[in-house]
Structure 1
Amino acid sequence: MDKIPHRLGRLITSPKAYARQNALLAALRWLRANAPLGRVECEDFDPFWLVTRHADIAEVIRRHELFHNGDRAHTLVPRASDELARAQTGGSAHPIRTLVHMDEPDHSKYRRIAQSWFTQQGVRPLEDRIRAIARASVDRMAEHGGACDFARDVAVHFPLRVLMQILGVPQEDEPQILKLTQELFASEDAQLGYGGGIAGDPSRHTRELFRLLGKFQDYFVPLMERRRQQPTDDLTSVIANAGIDGKPIDQFEAVSYYIILAAAGHDTTSSSISGGLWALCENMPVFEALKDDAALIPAFVDEAVRWTSPVHHVMRTATVDIELGGSKIRKGDWLMLHLLSGNRDEDAFAQADHFRLDRETSRSVIFGQGAHNCLGQHLARIEMRIFFEELLKRLAEVELAARPRRAASIFIGGPKNLPIQFAMN
């Protein structure tokens, strides 16, 4: 079967399906068994291949020379949005240009700018600062008096504070950056982004990206200029004073760098923290095991990332005619790597729909593999480990106070509301 049933294609491209997920996960389970690699032809979108099995997704990610990030849009966007982006940029599909939009040789050149900050050795000296922020976050949670919306009151602020310290952004500016990052990645959700505010305009995705890019530029360009005049020991200074091929980094690509660090590194981590606590609320034996043995927390962190899958998909473009999973992919074809599906693949993870500590979760496709493995993965793991170490020292009881809700977002999403009741030691 090459063509995906139309109703399933519509489900895959619907932001609301990612908010509810039950029907979506059932559809992905059926696709992995019956049509693991098929064409989606859906109104408003260019046709694309839907890749749902873990093994196929991992192969495409590894073979970055055959499947490019930058030739077409890196995330699924409507045809009208793509056309508007190309018209506004003079031919590029990308309103911004970050590491995730680059292929070789540019990818390696730009990655090297910040790479030393995010290696295991680079993030280890940050542990004390991260722990202080984690303790302060748990203190603020305790001040809520036994009930809070964990996603909005706690999880969303902790990784933002960590990243803003690394970048050298003043704490009083964090609400502004938080608002911009939420709008950037959750724009389909009426509560978090612009939602249906301009319904009927199929190019709204790109229009919103250009608007937000302007807001990010308004903030980061003056900060970057100050760091060029007076560098400090933060990552903003490193990027502001970086050189590419013997020339100063272009302002547009420097701002794009700040955006990907501030936004992607924050949203994915906060979603995984919320997803992890949600799982604990529904798995008391896991909660008790972690309380008894903090050495299990790293395994819990990896499982929370797999379980939450905050990055739902990425897109790739074939550079040659090639066979994948028994299907003939043509040069120029667009592929959706459905990471949420890959992380629920029964062939890769035993009891994939269950939250388990006793699994090998390094096979999760969220952090990528090869040249495009996630730059911030070590920081994300350390942040989550330290946060849950500090939280579980003090958290005596926790339960859901109401039904949690996920963001309606095709690209990056997770719990947007997680009402809990709790007791602290």
Structure 2
Amino acid sequence: MTIPTDVANTIIDPKAYADGRRIDEAFSWLRREAPLDVAEVEGFYPFWVVTRQADILEVERQNELFHNGDRPTTLTNIEGEKKVREMMGGSPHLVRSLVQMDNPDHHAYRRLTQAWFMPQNLRQLEARIREIARSFVDRMAAHGGRCDFARDVAFLYPLHVVMEVLGVPEIDEPRMLKLTQELFGSADPELNRTGEAIADIDQGIAAIQETVMDFMTYFNAMTEDRRRQPRNDLASVIANGQVDGQPLGHLEAMSYYIIAATAGHDTTSNTTAGALWALAERPEVFRALKDDLSQIPGLIEESIRWVTPVKHFMRSATADAELGGRKIAKGDWLFLSYPSGNRDEAVYADPFEFDIARSPNKHVAFGYGAHICLGQHLARMEMRILWEELLPRLESVELDGTPANMTANFVCGPKTVPVRFKMH
């Protein structure tokens, strides 16, 4: 049995993710009726849709059996994949970051920066991150009771933290934000490079490629600078890093910067914006949090589950396998749906409720296994510090207009969250 065409079309439609309700309904139907089945969508190679959390964990646990790099790591149509392979000398990837790597490369490249992102090292940054958070809370207060929390706070605060860690000067932060939104919002006319709806595959790939080239030009100059004068920043680690006694390849080094500069802040921004949106709609939850700030960790985990900024990754089977009672053939492509795993009725009571007291809250928003998000501890720390600074000063908050999500099916979250608030 294959997944009904209308459902298959919905789960890859960027507009359905912007809608939210449509995507939830599609995945709820799949978990109930076809939790592991094949989607056949016109213009795409067939792919398995993995919707249950247990099956997602099973795939993520076995990274030798289910590879990241052999086929595109994000859902790409046949024509798009062909064009990228022609452009990249046979590789299906425009960039080659940790996300597109399998072992032994994945392990070796991850080890380069892993120490930077461990909790004991991040503690040294806590005082500086708190200063940054405070400045953004002050900036919000200066708006005088109304702002777009997504654009005025949530997008900019994690961006500033990550750029400081990376070593990008503050003057270049708007450029980094714009390029990140172009990359992840390529299907969104308000965010992509063209400023209009993308008409065809050629235009879409060309726009993404131009954005990637802009990133590479920027980080190439940074690499040269850090090789001449290393500093205590992540850019210096990448610029001077070695794998197997050799400097990083050009594509790998540029890709390392790009993933640090984009995924490093965008997912945290999405989660932070989504959390305040949820609180603005739920005054009773907001009051409970205000009364007991020890619930902040619960707020953070629930908002990560609630927003699930990374919507999917693809894997391909390196051998025949069995998953969830189904036979997967060598070479088969699998679509791991993280939002579906994070709404799985088998794991969560009331998965469609925003519940900051949810315990345990073992979501899959950061992935699992060898490819679990490298920046997860930094993301949690940034959010914790922001809420510790903002909640004591925020007396009330409510929506001031209609929030909206990005139009994207890979990485996305709120793009506008207009709020009215009182602060002291």
The TM-score range, normalised by the shorter chain, is over 0.9
Does structure 1 residue 218 correspond to structure 2 residue 217? yes
Give the Cα–Cα distance (whole angstroms) in 1 for the partners of residues 203 and 102 of structure 2. 27
Give the Cα–Cα distance (whole angstroms) in 2 for the partners of residues 158 and 165 of structure 1. 11
Give the Cα–Cα distance (whole angstroms) in 2 for the partners of residues 316 and 230 of structure 1. 39
- In structure 1, the residue matched to 2:339 is 340
Q: How do 1:205-244 residues align onto structure 2 when only pairs under 5 Å count?
A: 205-244=204-243
Of the structure 1 ranges 228-237 and 321-330, higher mean CA displacement relative to structure 2 is found in 321-330
Identity over aligned pairs, percent = 53
Per-residue CA deviation, residues 317-341 of structure 1 (Å, 9 max, x unaligned), is 0111111112211111110000011
CA offset at residue 367 of structure 1? Answer: 1.0
- In structure 2, the residue matched to 1:406 is 405
- In structure 1, the residue matched to 2:40 is 41
Contact residue 96 and residue 256 of structure 1 kept, 8 A: yes
Contact residue 188 and residue 197 of structure 2 kept, 8 A: no
Per-residue CA deviation, residues 80-126 of structure 1 (Å, 9 max, x unaligned), is 11101100111100000000100100001000111001011121111
Give the Cα–Cα distance (whole angstroms) in 1 for the partners of residues 167 and 264 of structure 2. 15
Does structure 1 residue 141 correspond to structure 2 residue 140? yes
Does structure 1 residue 15 correspond to structure 2 residue 6? no
- In structure 2, the residue matched to 1:186 is 185
Q: CA RMSD in A?
A: 1.2
CA offset at residue 208 of structure 1? Answer: 2.5
Residue identity matched to 2:76: V
- In structure 1, the residue matched to 2:25 is 26
CA offset at residue 395 of structure 1? Answer: 0.4
Per-residue CA deviation, residues 283-305 of structure 1 (Å, 9 max, x unaligned), is 22221121111111011101000
Per-residue CA deviation, residues 173-198 of structure 1 (Å, 9 max, x unaligned), is 10111100111111101111147846
Count of matched residue pairs: 424
Give the Cα–Cα distance (whole angstroms) in 2 for the partners of residues 224 and 195 of structure 1. 29
- What is the TM-score with the length of structure 1 in the denominator? 0.98
Does structure 1 residue 117 correspond to structure 2 residue 116? yes
Per-residue CA deviation, residues 129-184 of structure 1 (Å, 9 max, x unaligned), is 11111001111111111011111111000000000110111100101111001111
Residue identity matched to 2:316: T
Contact residue 28 and residue 52 of structure 1 kept, 8 A: yes
Gaps of 5+ in 1: none
Q: How do 1:16-415 residues align onto structure 2 when only pairs under 5 Å count?
A: 16-194=15-193, 197=196, 199-415=198-414
Give the Cα–Cα distance (whole angstroms) in 2 for the partners of residues 165 and 380 of structure 1. 14
Contact residue 78 and residue 203 of structure 1 kept, 8 A: no
- In structure 1, the residue matched to 2:421 is 422
CA offset at residue 350 of structure 1? Answer: 0.9
Give the Cα–Cα distance (whole angstroms) in 2 for the partners of residues 84 and 143 of structure 1. 48
Give the Cα–Cα distance (whole angstroms) in 1 for the partners of residues 75 and 379 of structure 2. 25
Give the Cα–Cα distance (whole angstroms) in 1 for the partners of residues 400 and 195 of structure 2. 29
Give the Cα–Cα distance (whole angstroms) in 2 for the partners of residues 356 and 199 of structure 1. 38
Contact residue 188 and residue 195 of structure 1 kept, 8 A: no
Give the Cα–Cα distance (whole angstroms) in 2 for the partners of residues 12 and 44 of structure 1. 15
Give the Cα–Cα distance (whole angstroms) in 1 for the partners of residues 296 and 412 of structure 2. 23
When residues 8 and 196 of structure 1 are mapped into structure 2, their CA distance, relative to the original with a 3 A threshold, is: farther
Contact residue 82 and residue 206 of structure 1 kept, 8 A: no
Per-residue CA deviation, residues 54-75 of structure 1 (Å, 9 max, x unaligned), is 1111111111111111111111
Per-residue CA deviation, residues 257-302 of structure 1 (Å, 9 max, x unaligned), is 0000010011100000001111111222221121111111011101
Residue identity matched to 2:20: Q
Give the Cα–Cα distance (whole angstroms) in 2 for the partners of residues 37 and 303 of structure 1. 26
Indicate the SS of the match to 1:363: coil
- What is the TM-score with the length of structure 2 in the denominator? 0.98
When residues 341 and 255 of structure 1 are mapped into structure 2, their CA distance, relative to the original with a 3 A threshold, is: same
Residue identity matched to 1:398: V
CA offset at residue 366 of structure 1? Answer: 1.0
Contact residue 306 and residue 361 of structure 1 kept, 8 A: no
Indicate the SS of the match to 1:393: coil
Give the Cα–Cα distance (whole angstroms) in 1 for the partners of residues 414 and 148 of structure 2. 10
Contact residue 182 and residue 208 of structure 2 kept, 8 A: no
Residue identity matched to 2:25: A
CA offset at residue 360 of structure 1? Answer: 2.7
CA offset at residue 256 of structure 1? Answer: 0.5
CA offset at residue 361 of structure 1? Answer: 5.0
Give the Cα–Cα distance (whole angstroms) in 2 for the partners of residues 198 and 80 of structure 1. 18
